[in-house]
Amino acid sequence: MMHHALIISDVLGFIFKFTDTSTNVACARVCKAWQENVLDVLWNRVDRLDRLLRLVGPMEEINSYLTFVQSHISNDRWERFTFYANLVRYLEVTDRPPEIHHQSFSTLAITRPVLHILPNLTHLTWKKDPSSPPSSLFLCLLFLNPGLKSLSVETGRGSEQGDLFAIGNFFNDVVHRSPCIENLEFRSKMLFRDIGPCLSKFFIGLRCLKTVLLSDTLLTSDVITALAKCPLLESVRMIPMFDSFGTDEGEDVRNFIPVIEHGAFPQLQEMEIRAHLWNVVSLLQSEFPAGRLWRLVVRTLIMEDNASIAAFFTQVAEACHGLEVLALSVQKGSIEDDSENYTFASLQPILRCTSLTAFTLKLPLPLDIDDTEASLIASAWPRGRHLILNPFPTSKRPTRKHITLDALMAFAQCCPEIQSLGLFILPSFISQSPDRKVMPKLDSLKLGLSGVLYTVENLALFLADITPLTCSVTGASYLHDIDSAEAHRVARVKWRKVIALLPTLRSIHAQYQTRLRALEAEVHRLSLLAASATMIEA
């Protein structure tokens, strides 16, 4: 007799999400009452297209490509395919072998009995041969439907006029076949000047769009102007620098002056921009709804100076009242000998933005700040959870001021919720104060070490005292005016010794704390007994 809970659809669906594929297949074969729920789980997400296409007809491998054995597909085969196709919600097509010949897609398109072969598909990821030209994108149109909510596409760079014509047709077909797309990811090596007009028209046609993720070279003035007209758009993001394969196209990216009219971006909350800081300041001073942003990420095109950074932070503090997450990454440029290090004065304006919980700063030159200024930063953001203050500058130039390990105590005191922290410090001074406050929620500590004049044991002991057992500690040593390979090797070895000591010291520290709590409890118990005995005698 089966327990009544094992025939409740919601319970079964929850259970089968946590079992492996082989177990689910066995359950579908054993119990007919479970089949519907098991099949929903098994076919909900398909990451191998051949697994789906083999339902239509037998396939064989010819010259490393899978193709249908027969060009004619019978009605009973289509009926079998339709049953399972109705269950598919997520489809991911990548370069994972075996490759499917384009002729197989033609066979599907010609013989299909209905227009939408995956009628309930909501998420489509198409990264099939991303190095190929955009003309291959027409294959993905076969799986579009009016209910599609998320589309992720990756394509190569078009080299012929036919490729540009194909990408324009692709954009038009997507708008007509799947007008309700809410989440769009488009990665491409194509130049904006080649696809700009059709890309802008594409965005204007997607009226339900909520999130956009683009290659950074496509996030230009014209694209921002087009996206400003999307009534439901909440998030505009770009592919991170390390993950972007776009080609810098000069003036298309550098001239960032979008046309922002009144009422633009009515729902925007998250924005990522790659531009000169003066362009970003102009954007925030326009009709752009900066006050509604909760996240802002800016990557510059050139190396910016202190004045530009101060002007940017001043405008952010004035315009972005509800900002919680801010990141600024300044591009490394040609560093002159007389160029000034970044100072506390350039950061001070952003301290007025007290709503920040996450602040990331990446600069080519070190920050010239001391412990007092670091304490001011910590006290300005009591809600801070993620504070990365340029721990790894790209230049090894020395600084006039230094943050010591004492600054960590300021963050421990002022930011009780801190989860990740990054600083560029002078490790040679280690305070012997017994009041080392642990940061209980710290998950990640990143330290750039200015020089190697520290004792391995003392530094390891200090880090063990202030970080919890699960905290990840990473670091890199900066040797100023020293190009010796041997000196750099010694610095790396010394830091590795610090990291190697941490687990042992943390374990000892945890045992000490456990014993201390036990002793305190025993003292408390004895105090109560002594008090009771005194009362009895009285």
438-469 as b/e: b if 16+ CB within 10 A: ebeebbebbbbbbbbebebeebbbbbbebbee
pLDDT at 452 over 70: yes
Cα separation, 157 vs 132, in Å, equals 7
Which ranges of 17-101 would DSSP assign to H, the alpha helix?
A: 21-30, 32-44, 49-53, 75-85
Cα separation, 29 vs 24, in Å, equals 9
Query: How many of the other CB atoms lie within 10 Å of CB of 36?
Result: 13
Q: Which of 243-257, 411-425, 443-457, 475-489 has the lowest mean pLDDT?
A: 243-257
Per-residue pLDDT tens for 378-430? 999 999 999 999 999 988 777 888 899 889 999 999 999 999 999 999 888 77
Two structure tokens written together for 181? 């797309």
Stretch 64-80: mean pLDDT, rounded? 85
Stretch 360-377: mean pLDDT, rounded? 93
Q: Which amino acid is at 62?
A: I
Residues 6+ apart with CB under 8 A from 315: 280, 281, 284, 285
Considering 184-198, 223-237, 483-497, the range whose residues carry the highest mean pLDDT is 223-237
The whole-number pLDDT of residue 429 equals 78
Parallel/antiparallel/unpaired status of strands 358-362 and 367-368: unpaired
Q: Which of 212-216, 225-229, 476-480 has the lowest mean pLDDT?
A: 476-480
Q: Which residue has the higher pLDDT, 495 or 122?
A: 122
Q: No. of H helices and E strands in the chain?
A: 17, 20
Average pLDDT, the chain: 85
Going by pLDDT thresholds of 50, 70 and 90, the confidence category of residue 242 is very low
pLDDT at 435 over 50: yes
Going by pLDDT thresholds of 50, 70 and 90, the confidence category of residue 206 is very high
What phi, psi does 177 have (nearest 5°)? -90, -30
Two structure tokens written together for 237? 């993001």
Beta bridge partners of 358: 325, 386
Q: Which of 111-115, 164-168, 496-500 has the lowest mean pLDDT?
A: 164-168
pLDDT at 246 over 60: no
Going by pLDDT thresholds of 50, 70 and 90, the confidence category of residue 350 is very high
Positions of E strands within 77-231? 90-93, 99-100, 123-126, 150-155, 183-188, 211-214
Helices 306-319 and 277-285: angle between axes, nearest 10 degrees? 20
pLDDT at 352 over 50: yes
Q: Which residue has the higher pLDDT, 285 or 509?
A: 285
Q: Which amino acid is at 509?
A: H
Q: Which of 241-245, 314-318, 340-344, 455-459 has the lowest mean pLDDT?
A: 241-245
Going by pLDDT thresholds of 50, 70 and 90, the confidence category of residue 204 is very high
Q: Which residue has the higher pLDDT, 3 or 428?
A: 428
Global pTM reads 0.86
pLDDT at 346 over 80: yes
Query: How many of the other CB atoms lie within 10 Å of CB of 174?
Result: 22
How distant, in Å, are the alpha carbons of 226, 386, 447 from that of 441? 42, 11, 17
pLDDT at 361 over 50: yes
The whole-number pLDDT of residue 94 equals 84
Please identify which residue in the block is written with the tokens 């005191």.
413
The whole-number pLDDT of residue 132 equals 60
CA quadruple 362, 364, 368, 370: dihedral positive or negative? Answer: positive
Cis peptide before 98 (omega within 30 of 0): yes
What phi, psi does 117 have (nearest 5°)? -80, -20
Going by pLDDT thresholds of 50, 70 and 90, the confidence category of residue 61 is confident
Q: Which residue has the higher pLDDT, 274 or 490?
A: 274
**Do residues 295 and 328 touch, judged by C-beta distance below 8 A?**
no
Stretch 297-301: mean pLDDT, rounded? 94
Q: Which residue has the higher pLDDT, 392 or 70?
A: 392
